[in-house]
Structure formats: structure tokens, C-alpha cells
Structure 1
Amino acid sequence: MHGKTILYTGAAGGLGLQTTLRFLERGATVVAVDHDDAKMAALTSAAAPITNGRLVLLHSDMSDLDGFRAGLKQKLEETGGFDVVINNAAIYPSKPFEGYTVEEHQLVQRVNVDAGIVAVQEALPGMKARGFGRIVNVASVTVYGGWALLSPYVASKGALVGLTRAWAREFGVYGITVNAISPGAFPTDAEKIHPDPDGYTKFVLDHQAVKRRGHVGDIANAIAFLASEDTGFITGQTLNVDGGWVMH
């Protein structure tokens, strides 16, 4: 990844931090987008010993699309362009469907999908000019089986799968590939919404073919693979990283 610049949203927490470090170790410049100051500080500390790559921070509330776009333009000028875009940032409120307002649905869509659209819009001209680009959208296993109480989140992740296919069809002529990964259940902060952690772990292991919990390194490996130069003939695909929970 030497010489490549990666735009990574939601880079400082959950599934993002380990992948950010992986890219830095491989010599990339990573523009890490997040809004959580504590997580950004932790990322900066974790990245400090890595001298191969360069970490560039972008503090941004991605529900503010205009502000996010302005921040991206600044980083584009600073770095010279984005070779890879990883749309990972997401919010995941949990409650019965009838409890959501339309505005709450729209907020989830804005952060989980629309911010990714903005990121790709800003990166695309440079990718086209260079004849190279990698876009990786982080979807979710919930798209396949549905998930009670998470309807806005599930809808947003389904939208990312659809965009993956549409963008792949449109951008392939420019040497740009677009793929998605669909993580299964990983023990991150996202699982704190579950009232019975032990029961949830049993549920997960009962459904997976691989009888262990996922590690964030599993996600880092998948994203790094799809972002590499070695995957120029893979596009429009959604790769499940879920221990064999969903097979298709």
C-alpha cells in the first residue's frame, strides 16, 4: 500500500481501528474520519509507533454532509487524492419499528449511506484520472436475515449493497472496483445494545459454522484484501465475514 492514500470513515473505533493500523503498517497514508475525540486519541496513540505510513485525522460529524464534504476537500488538497474509500461509519439505534420517527430513519440513512455517497463523489474524479480506485462498503449480515428493532440500520446496509453493485457497473471502465463486506457478529461496542451478552454469544455460536467469536483482525484482513491492487478483477461483490453464519 506504499504511495496509496486511503479515506476511511469510522476509522477510530469498533471494526475500524485495527484496519487503520494494518494500512499504516503497509505504508499507506490513511485519512481517518471519526467524531469521537477519545477514540481518535486512542487511534493516534496506537499509530504512533508505526513509521511506515502516515495518519491524517479528520474530525467530522458525518450527519452534517456539507461540513463533511468541506473537510474532505481540505484533505484532498493536503494528500493529493484518495486511492481507496472505505465507507464504514454507521449508527445503529435499537427500538421497535413504531417507535422510530421518520427523522430518525433519515438520520441513520444520512450517516450510514449518504455520507458514503459524499465520500465517493469527492474521491471519484481523482480515481478516474489515475485509472485506479478501490471502494469498500461495510454492510452487515443483518441484510440477509433481517433483524428486529434495527430496521433503519438494516435498510441502510441494504442500500450500501445496492450501491456497491450500481457503482461497480458504472465505474469498472475506469479501473475502479467496488465491493462490500458483510460482517457478522463481532464483540465491539455495537453489541452493548443487547441486554443479555452471554445469551447473544450463545446465539451467535449456534448459528456460525466456525465456533469462535470474530476478531477485528478478520475484518482488517478482508478490507485490506479488497483494497489491494491484487483484486482488480473482483467487483460488485459482497463478501460475508461472519464465520459461516450466512452462506449464499
Structure 2
Amino acid sequence: MSVENRTILYTGAAGGLGLPATLAFLAEGATVVAVDHDPAKVAALRAAADEQGKGRLVVAALDMSDLGAFRTALEGLSQEVGGFDVVINNAAIYPSKPFEDYTIEEHQAVQRVNVDAGIVCVQVALPSMRAKGFGRIVNVVSVTLSGGWANLSPYVQSKGALLGLTRAWAREFGAYGVTVNAISPGAFPTDAEKIHPDPEGYNRYVLERQAVKRRGTPADIASTLSFLCSDGAGFITGQTLNVDGGWWMT
């Protein structure tokens, strides 16, 4: 159940949860087109990939908020690598403030990156997947959909949209041999937690709600993605897999 010789389009691939999964895919012999625009994180990903010396890493430092330019760049990359076999829609922005303080433009900006750019990824990748009779799409949603967080309404809205698209795409693309699933990470200790003013209190809050009394690690996400993107997950589609230590049981 590996992704050897597959080509993976992975947004947010150099982030706290993205980097370990990217390295895991490369270790399995995949080509990873890593979309990320944070220079320091990209440099760390390049260094780690060079040290590992496996797979093929293609870094694409793209502005996902410029959907037209993003589509054009992805189309060029798709031609360069022979099409995408896997799409992982992981990149997201997460401003935090009370609902009434957001402008409609701020809401739209979050949807543009977190949802619309993911739609573009799938629109670019789908023709090749359909021609090959194989494809894996994984949308990264969030435990925040359980309703336990305030001040994140545009982010939660965006993750709800991705969950809806997961189900719609799964129904529509199954005839092409393409599966579509979502993973819902719990509260992992990444840069996203820096928005919380009391880190120690937040850590206690997380552990109190989880059945498993440890914090999640990037390896927990990497192994889940590797499975859903493999041949072995070919009969699983339209599902959401909660990777949250038993926080939200559905």
C-alpha cells in the first residue's frame, strides 16, 4: 500500500503537518509537487528532502489567492510531471477574531485560499486522473467543525465547504476510478496554535477532550494520508477520517 511512482500535488506541503507527510511520500518513491510560499519552511523541506535522497520533490512557490495565475502555473506543472495522480488540499489560512469584526472581503479571502484554490487543483488534476482510471483526492478539514471554537467563523465555514465537496466529488468521480476522502486532524501542536493566548491552558483543554492522552504528531497525519492515497484504499470514498485521538466520535 504505497504511493511509489505516483505524482502528488500537495498544498501546504512544507508546513508543520505537511513536511513529514511530504518526506514520507518521497521515501515511498513518489514525486511530490509541493505548493508552499513560506521561504523558511520551503528551505527546511528542501534540505530534509536532499538529506533523505529519495523520490522527486518539485517545489512550487505559488500565491493561491490569485486563482487565475495559480491555475496557469498548475497546468504547466501538470504537463511537466505527466499529470497528477493524487491531490491533497491542505493549505489554509486561519485569521481569528469575533464574527462581527470580519468584513465580507476577509471572509472571501479565506474561502479563496482554503476552498477555491482546492477546486482549481482538482479541476486541473481530474482530466489526467480520468484518463488513467486512477486518482486519489484528500481534503484536509478540521476538528473545529465540531463547534468547539469561537472566533474562527471563516475558517470553519471553509472546512465545511471542503467536507461538502468531498462528498459531492466522491459521488461524481467514482465512475472514473477516483476516490475522494477527507481527514479531520484534531488539535495538533503546530504554528496554528500560536493564536491562543494561553498555550498551557489550551494544551490541558485538548488533552481533557481526547480519549488518547497525548498530543498528536505529524507522523499520525502522514500515515493516514499514505493509506488514503494508496491502492489499498481504493474502496473507500466519500468518508471523513478523524485523526484526533478520539476527540470527536461520529
> TM-score, normalized by length of structure 1?
0.99
1:84 aligns to what?
86
Gaps of 5+ in 1: none
Which AA in structure 2 matches 1:211? K
Distance (whole Å) between structure 1 residues aligned to residue 194 and residue 62 of structure 2: 24
SS where residue 126 of structure 2 aligns? Answer: helix
1:216 aligns to what?
218
Cα displacement string for residues 24-66 of structure 1 (whole angstroms, at most 9, x for unaligned residues): 0000000000111111111000110223300001010101111
2:16 aligns to what?
14
Gaps of 5+ in 2: none
1:69 aligns to what?
71
Count residues in correspondence. 248
1:127 aligns to what?
129
Q: Of residues 150, 153, 159 in structure 2, which corresponds to 1:151?
A: 153
The alpha carbon displacement at 1:2 in A equals 1.9
Distance (whole Å) between structure 1 residues aligned to residue 181 and residue 127 of structure 2: 19
Cα displacement string for residues 137-187 of structure 1 (whole angstroms, at most 9, x for unaligned residues): 000011122420000000000000000000000000000000000000000
Distance (whole Å) between structure 2 residues aligned to residue 240 and residue 61 of structure 1: 29
Distance (whole Å) between structure 1 residues aligned to residue 177 and residue 163 of structure 2: 20
Q: Of residues 192, 195, 217 in structure 2, which corresponds to 1:193?
A: 195
2:7 aligns to what?
5
Distance (whole Å) between structure 1 residues aligned to residue 69 and residue 204 of structure 2: 42
The alignment's C-alpha RMSD in Å is 0.7
Question: Conserved in 2, the CA contact under 8 Å of 1:25 and 1:52?
Answer: yes
User: Which range moved further: 35-44 or 199-208?
Assistant: 35-44
> TM-score, normalized by length of structure 2?
0.98
User: Cα–Cα, structure 1 residues 86 and 157, in superposed 2: closer, same or farther, change >3 Å?
Assistant: same
1:36 aligns to what?
38
1:241 aligns to what?
243
Q: Which runs of 4+ in 1 moved over 6 A?
A: none
Question: Conserved in 2, the CA contact under 8 Å of 1:85 and 1:119?
Answer: yes
SS where residue 123 of structure 1 aligns? Answer: helix
Percent pairwise identity: 73
Distance (whole Å) between structure 2 residues aligned to residue 192 and residue 157 of structure 1: 20
